[in-house]
Amino acid sequence: MASNQIMFILFSVMIVVFSVLTVTSRRILRAAVYLLFVLVSTSGLYFMLNYQFLAAVQLTLYAGGIVVLIIFSILLTSHISQNFESSGWKKNIFSAIAALIGALLSIITILDYKFSATTEVAQEVNMKLIGKSLLSTGYDGYVLPFEIISVLLLAAMVAAIVVAKKVSPKSAELQNLKQ
Amino acid sequence: MLPEIVALNTSPTLSVPWWKVVYDFSALTDWIDKSLHNSMSPFWTTITEMLIIGVLILLFYALVGLFLVYAERKVCAFMQNRLGPNRVGPFGIFQTIADLFKLLFKELIPIKNADGFLFNLAPFIVIIASFMAIAAIPFAKGLHAIDLNIGVLYVMAVSAMGVIGVLLAGWSSNNKYSLIGAMRSGAQIVSYELSVGLSLITIVILAGSMQLSVIVEAQRDGWFLFKGHISAFIAFIIFLISSTAETNRGPFDLAEAESELTAGYHTEYSGIKFAFFFLAEYINMFIVASIAATVFLGGWMPFHVGSWEGFNHIMDFIPPFVWYIGKTFFVIFLMMWFKWTFPRLRIDQLLTLEWKYLLPINLFNVLIMAFLVLMGWHF
């Protein structure tokens, strides 16, 4: 067995095991940590494919950003002794059915697709290439999604500021009067 | 059969005289690689090489940790007009080794009502994050474990993971001081990461690449600190400030402010688990300093000035490794100087400094650098 396959099996076993642990753990912070392990192993898969940029982005955005935010909100809201109760059998059955249907759909789609194996060596994706295609308007360009996502992020940021903004005492009084 | 046997029996030799290895390690690493390939299959060669590099980095990690603790105590003593450690060995150089043994022999106190799994996991996350970052740093010519295409981004991505360990340590200790320390540290690291990233991007614009080896090579005729003049200098100062904050060191050591929070997030840790946090803090400082040295001060590249052939040739006689260590320890000395001379900031001052001053200056600085590069106004 080649080293590539061993690494692939290692990463995929980690992803599967920790994904299951994420949803079955009764302690919320442990679930968040298992999720972290899933995301880190996924970035390991990207490193294996020699797509280093995506791997590093996966690490910064998901492991360093989103998981930190999740942990942060858990830290602010829940106490260490808090354990979640296990859900009732009705819920369990319905979620099992939903999960099975989802798994079946994706397995069917994957089996339907004819993966053609190549013997070519995996190429390193250059940063310049990524940058250029991200901002080009041509055939391989991604400028439209890039701009739309920027606008979306800007809107989210403005919304966050509006939500977090302190209300000045004068306008608070005015609002009270209106009510 | 015959050619194979011949190929197996001729052991490869070092292509340069042994004393020249100090100037270019690639001959030595090539030789090791070829000799390993001759005696085993490619699969086992890779495994053995990974093991060798792992052990070497681990050794380096421990030695640097031990030395930095000693250096910190000596620098602190120097700033406060004291002698510092001076009993164990000449000038007290074995003090930290004695401390290490003390920490190894100390009892690991289990905490009642703590989340045991996360409590034990947290120091390892902190250590692994710094260990992964150190692998991508170029120590000398040819002495570079993984030369990633996106080196700068990788180091930032990996070192950002350390904060998770800090947050977990604070929460799982089930202690209010630890929790407050972890929250402060989280807020601090997440916000200062922006400044670190943007100040590095300023130099990436100038270098035109994120690969650390390319960045070092581009500084052959002058370090980026001088080549990018005004803009690079501003970026260097911002990097120093924000990376000091990112490593949780004074004057930004709110996370473990001993006068307010006992010891912050690692209050409940004892023995070697505490030592892991302690070690990771020093190694993070070393990583940050070596990134500063690599990106702004030329890494292992000797001090070269444009077209002064003779001067450059004399500078080349000092081995690259010495240059790298010298620059890194210069930056580390600066950071220790900060710690022992500035008073600690309050949390609101800390966040104001980042969001109202450093970030706008930094964004503007990136624009200036892009303009300088476009107009060709750099050296």
Torsion of CA A68, A71, A72, A75, to 10 degrees: -160
What is the interface pTM, i.e. ipTM, of the complex?
0.80
**In one letter, which amino acid is B323?**
W
Q: Is the pLDDT of residue B7 over 50?
A: no
The predicted-structure confidence for A63-75, as pLDDT tens digits, reads as follows: 888 888 888 888 8
In whole numbers, what is the pLDDT of chain B averaged over residues? 82
Residue with tokens 């280093």: A52
Question: What are all long-range contacts of B229-235, with beta carbons under 8 Å and residues at least 24 apart?
Answer: B229/B378, B229/B379, B230/B368, B231/B202, B231/B206, B231/B365, B231/B368, B231/B369, B231/B372, B232/B202, B232/B203, B232/B206, B232/B296, B232/B369, B234/B361, B234/B365, B235/B199, B235/B200, B235/B202, B235/B203, B235/B296, B235/B362, B235/B365, B235/B369
Calculate mean pLDDT across residues B42-71.
86
Minimal CA separation from A110 to chain B, in Å: 31
Verify whether the Cβ–Cβ distance B149 to A126 is below 8 Å. yes
- Bridge partners of B143? B140
Answer whether residue B215 shows pLDDT above 80.
Answer: yes
R_g (Cα) of chain B, nearest Å: 23
Work out the pLDDT band at A12, boundaries 50, 70, 90. Answer: very high
Q: Which residues of B touch A57 (CB under 8 A)?
A: 153, 157
Share of chain B above pLDDT 70, in %: 94
pLDDT tier, B13 (very low <50, low <70, confident <90, very high otherwise)? low
Q: Which two tokens stand for residue A63?
A: 């492991």
- CA dist A45 → A4, A5, A41, A124, B156 (Å): 10, 11, 6, 14, 19
Q: pTM for the whole thing?
A: 0.84
Between CA A6 and CA B116 the distance in angstroms is 31
B332 pLDDT higher than 70: yes
Q: Is B287 on the interface with A (CB under 8 A)?
A: no
CA B200 and chain centroid, separation: 14
* Chain CA centroid to CA B53, Å: 17
In this predicted structure, what is the pLDDT of residue A1?
Answer: 62
- Provide the CB-side half-sphere exposure for B257 (13 A, CA): 20
Round to whole Å and give the CA distance between A73 and B167.
11
B257 has a pLDDT exceeding 90: no
| The token pair that represents B249 in the structure block | 């060191």
CA–CA–CA angle B145, B151, B152 (5° rounding): 135
Q: Which fold has domain A1-124?
A: Four Helix Bundle (Hemerythrin (Met), subunit A) (1.20.120)
Nearest residue on chain A to B187, alpha-carbon basis: A72
Q: Which helix (H) or strand (E) holds A10?
A: helix A3-24
DSSP class of residue A139 equals T
C-alpha to C-alpha distance for B122 and B184, rounded to whole angstroms: 17
- The whole-number pLDDT of residue B156 equals 86
Residue ranges of alpha helices (H) inside chain B are: 2-9, 26-39, 42-79, 95-105, 116-134, 151-159, 162-172, 176-207, 212-217, 224-227, 229-246, 258-261, 271-296, 309-316, 320-341, 347-352, 359-375
Chain B, nearest residue to A3 by Cα? B43
**A67-71, A151-155, B14-18, range with the lowest pLDDT:** B14-18
Residue A13 pLDDT: 93
Residue A152 has pLDDT above 90, yes or no: yes
> Residues 35-64, chain B: which have Cβ within 8 Å of A?
43, 46-47
Of the candidates A56, A72, A81, which has its C-beta nearest B157's C-beta? A56
Please indicate if any CB of chain A lies within 8 Å of the CB of B212: no
CA–CA dist B298, B226 (Å, integer):
10
Q: What is the mean pLDDT of residues A26-30?
A: 83
Is A24 buried (19+), middle (13-18) or exposed (0-12) by CB count in 10 A?
A: exposed
CA-based nearest distance A16→chain B, Å: 20
Peptide bond connecting B85 to the previous residue in cis, omega within 30 degrees of 0: no
In chain A, the largest separation of any two C-alpha atoms, in whole Å, equals 76
Question: What pLDDT score does A78 carry?
Answer: 73
Of the partner residues B114, B148, B167, the one whose CB lies closest to the CB of residue A68: B167
Whole-angstrom distance, CA of residue B22 vs CA of residue B285: 26
Contact B245, B253 (CB under 8 A): no
pLDDT of residue B10: 53
Q: Check A29 against B163: CB less than 8 A apart.
A: no
Is pLDDT at A144 greater than 50 in this prediction? yes
Q: CB-based contacts of B338: which residues, under 8 Å, 6+ apart? A: B240, B244, B249, B250, B251
Please, are residues A122 and A49 in contact by the beta-carbon 8 Å criterion?
yes
The minimum CA-CA distance between B204 and chain A, rounded to whole Å, is 11
3-state secondary structure at position B146? coil
Element (DSSP H or E) covering residue A40: helix A28-48
Averaged pLDDT for residues A103-110? 92
**pLDDT, tens only, A115-125:** 777 777 766 67
Residue range A41-66: mean pLDDT, rounded: 86
C-alpha–C-alpha distance, residues A61 and B160, integer Å: 10
Q: B168–A71: do the CB atoms touch at under 8 Å?
A: yes
Mean per-residue pLDDT for A168-176?
A: 70
Strand-pairing partners, residue B140, are: B143
pLDDT score, position B95: 86
B193 interaction partners in chain A (CB closer than 8 Å): 64
Q: Which residues in chain A are classed under CATH 1.20.120.1200?
A: 1-124
Q: Which of A6-15, B150-159, B299-308 has the lowest mean pLDDT?
A: B299-308
pLDDT at res. B2: 40
> In this predicted structure, which of B26-30, B80-84, B93-97, B338-342 has the lowest mean pLDDT?
B26-30
What average pLDDT does this structure show over A104-111? 92
Taking residues B210-224, what's their average pLDDT? 83
Is the pLDDT assigned to residue A104 strictly greater than 90? yes
Position B3 scores a pLDDT of 43
B44 vs B337 pLDDT, higher one: B337
pLDDT of A122 reads: 64
Confidence class of residue B309 from pLDDT cuts 50, 70 and 90? confident
Stretch B344-360: mean pLDDT, rounded?
86
Task: Give the per-residue pLDDT at B9.
Answer: 46
Distance CA A17, CA A146 (A): 34
Residue B143 three-state SS:
strand
Nearest to B212 by CA among B158, B149, B160, B156: B149
Distance, in angstroms, between A82 CA and closest chain B CA? 11
Reading the block at residue B313, the tokens are 């040739």
CB B157 within 8 A of CB A64: yes
| B113-128 per-position pLDDT tens digit | 777 788 888 888 888 8
Rounded Cα gap, residues B164 and A72, in angstroms: 9
Instruction: Quote the CA–CA distance of B240 and B255 in Å, as a whole number.
Output: 19
Select the residue from A10, A28, A30 to test the B interface by mutation, using most B Cβ atoms within 10 A: A30
Average confidence (pLDDT) over A16-20: 91
B266-270 contacts, C-beta under 8 A, 24 or more apart:
B266/B169, B266/B178, B266/B181, B267/B173, B267/B175, B267/B177, B267/B178, B267/B181, B268/B109, B268/B111, B268/B114, B268/B119, B268/B173, B268/B175, B268/B178, B269/B123, B269/B169, B269/B173, B270/B106, B270/B107, B270/B108, B270/B109
Q: Taking residues B187-199, report their average pLDDT.
A: 87
Cβ–Cβ under 8 Å, residues B265 and B255? yes
Q: How many A×B Cβ pairs under 8 Å?
A: 89
